[in-house]
């Protein structure tokens, strides 16, 4: 079989022939970890062209070698929406003892978009209880799942008070993707005990709610005891 140059969904040009994916699948079972790692790396490069390897990659998410598990999750993320058949394995990988594996599993679930809505609850648990890096990817994944996972909204709102500004930014972006479904919870969050949550909520309402609702919601916050909340309320009123 003669290899031809093709472009995967990421726009990367690679050498490809019809037998390459099958060769990689066979090598994923090799006893030599170096060969398994090379096979997964090749599947990552193939991206969406490696769809036929999804079931095999779901199995290697249980590999004894953490690096193989991590790269397997990355390969599924690169395959994208076509990797939905590996969803149960990716959910299980959110419980992996290695942080990088959990982080990549969350990223791969996010690439499934709304098709991963059944993974919302495990992702919420990761958002609430895991390390900051995994929390960021869990929040991002929940945002990509979007309004089909409304149960995530309270946890995302709570993340507006996260100590890490990167986590706060990702939670904000995810709540924007929730759209109008987030508005009632954001209105409730204006009474939250955390100033960062109150400030973040009114900023988000300024982006998601009708102006009349924003005005009504922001006015009491102009008298908030926290300067940051008062500033956020003024910014919301200024549009």
Max CA-CA distance within the chain? 73
Other Cβ atoms closer than 10 A to 139: 31
Residues 202 and 107 in one domain: no
How far from chain centre, in Å, is Cα 190? 26
Residues 66 and 127 in one domain: no
Classify strands 13-16 and 4-7 as parallel, antiparallel or unpaired. antiparallel
Residues 137 and 238 in one domain: yes
Residues 91 and 196 in one domain: no
CATH no. for residue 72?
Answer: 1.25.10.10
Residues 205 and 169 in one domain: yes
Tokens (6 digits) for 74: 């990355």
How far from chain centre, in Å, is Cα 107? 5
Among the candidates 64, 86, 111, a domain finishes at 111
| Model pLDDT for residues 91-149, shown as the tens digit of each residue | 999 999 999 999 999 999 999 999 999 999 999 999 999 999 999 999 999 999 999 99
Residues 8 and 64 in one domain: yes
What pLDDT score does 6 carry? 54
Query: Which 8-state DSSP code applies to residue 16?
Result: E
Tokens (6 digits) for 91: 């959910």
Residues 199 and 143 in one domain: yes
CB distance 229 to 200 below 8 Å: no
pLDDT above 70 coverage of the chain, percent: 93
146 CB-near residues (< 8 Å, 6+ apart)? 113, 114, 177, 178, 179
What pLDDT score does 1 carry? 43
Residues 90 and 143 in one domain: no
How many residues are recorded in the chain?
A: 239
Rounded CA gap, 37 and 50, in Å? 15
Among the candidates 84, 111, 138, a domain finishes at 111
Residues 24 and 48 in one domain: yes
Structural domain tally of the chain?
Answer: 2
Residues 40 and 135 in one domain: no
Rounded CA gap, 123 and 157, in Å? 15
Among the candidates 69, 93, 111, a domain finishes at 111
- Reported pTM: 0.91
Residues 182 and 131 in one domain: yes
Residues 78 and 184 in one domain: no
Structural domain including 1 reads 1-111
The four Cα atoms 32, 35, 36, 41 give a dihedral, to 10 degrees, of: 160
| Model pLDDT for residues 171-214, shown as the tens digit of each residue | 999 999 999 999 999 999 999 999 999 999 999 999 999 999 99
């Amino acid at each position: 079989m003669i290899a031809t140059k093709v472009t995967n969904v990421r726009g990367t040009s690679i050498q490809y022939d019809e037998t390459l994916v099958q060769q990689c699948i066979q090598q994923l079972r090799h006893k030599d970890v170096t060969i398994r790692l090379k096979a997964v790396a090749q599947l990552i490069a193939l991206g969406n062209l490696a769809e036929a390897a999804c079931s095999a990659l779901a199995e290697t998410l249980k590999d004894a070698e953490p690096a193989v598990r991590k790269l397997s999750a990355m390969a599924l993320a690169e395959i994208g929406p076509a990797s939905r058949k590996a969803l149960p394995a990716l959910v299980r990988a959110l419980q992996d003892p290695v942080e990088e594996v959990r982080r990549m599993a969350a990223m791969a679930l996010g690439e499934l978009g709304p098709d991963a809505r059944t993974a919302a609850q495990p992702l919420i648990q990761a958002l609430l209880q895991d390390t900051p890096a995994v929390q960021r990817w869990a929040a991002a994944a929940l945002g990509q799942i979007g309004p089909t996972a409304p149960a995530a909204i309270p946890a995302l709102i709570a993340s507006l008070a996260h100590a890490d500004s990167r986590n706060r930014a990702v939670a904000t972006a995810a709540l924007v993707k929730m759209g109008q479904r987030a508005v009632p919870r954001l209105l409730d969050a204006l009474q939250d005990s955390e100033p960062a949550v109150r400030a973040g909520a009114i900023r988000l309402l300024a982006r998601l709610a009708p102006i009349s609702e924003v005005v009504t919601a922001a006015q009491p916050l102009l008298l908030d005891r926290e300067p940051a909340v008062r500033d956020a309320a003024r910014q919301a009123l200024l549009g």
